[in-house]
Amino acid sequence: MLLRPDAVVASVTEVTPELLRELGVRAVMVDLDDTLVPAGSELLEPLFRAWLSELVAAGFPVVILSNGERRRVERYARELGVRGLALVGKPFRHAFRRGLRLLGTPPHETAMVGDQLFTDVLGANLIGLRSVLVSPLSPGKLLHTRALRRLERRLLRRWQRDLAQLQGAGCDEPPKASPRLSTPPRRGWGLWPSCQ
């Protein structure tokens, strides 16, 4: 299922080194708008800045991978002390290949963390990255984003029901990272079980 993320969390701050190791990941691409900063806003939470610094300090190289405009992406990349790629063209594969070239890791050891199923998750899954979905920081600036968000919510609800069934059938070992994953995540589930 190309649209289904490997993990769902409420916020980037839940993308801990422990979770990344559990996913087998050594490097991270992170979306900008509605993942780190609300779309159309300039507000970068100190909490998110601290999260990114901690990840880098723990040895995970990070690249911002955004479809947003160059000046905005460069500004935040500079502010956060990481590299940033703007107007990359997610969900197309070439966008993620550019990120991989900067990070120097193979796809299966690299995570894409973002708020949209149809750009971040779909593109990541197409090229074999580990995909992590975060709850969006705003309802979306563009009309089509808002429409896609409604579809995303429907899909997430369906997967959540599927997951509950799998867990009910004794399929899922509780993921090791789950206590850290959820307080609780707004979407209610963490790692997708590996047994299905």
Q: Which residues bind Mg ion (CB under 5 A)?
A: 31, 33-34, 115
Q: Which residues contact 9 (CB under 8 A, 6 or more apart)?
A: 15, 19, 132, 133, 134, 135, 181, 182, 185, 190
DSSP 82: S
Question: Closest CB to Mg ion among 140 and 190?
Answer: 140
Which residue in 155, 188, 190 sits closest to 172, CA to CA?
190
Question: Closest CB to Mg ion among 113 and 127?
Answer: 113
Question: Closest CB to Mg ion among 6 and 115?
Answer: 115
Which residue in 67, 66, 106, 95 sits closest to 82, CA to CA?
66
Least distance (Å) from Mg ion to the CB of residue 85?
14
Question: Closest CB to Mg ion among 32 and 181?
Answer: 32
- How far are the Cα atoms of 128, 149, 182 from residue 188, in angstroms, in the given order? 25, 17, 8
Least distance (Å) from Mg ion to the CB of residue 31?
4
**Residue 37: CA atoms inside 13 Å, Cβ hemisphere, count?**
19
Least distance (Å) from Mg ion to the CB of residue 94?
18
Least distance (Å) from Mg ion to the CB of residue 71?
17
Which residue in 141, 138, 188, 146 sits closest to 167, CA to CA?
188
Least distance (Å) from Mg ion to the CB of residue 35?
5
DSSP 118: I
Phi-psi region of 87 (alpha: psi -120 to 50; beta: other; left: phi over 0): left
Question: Closest CB to Mg ion among 10 and 166?
Answer: 10
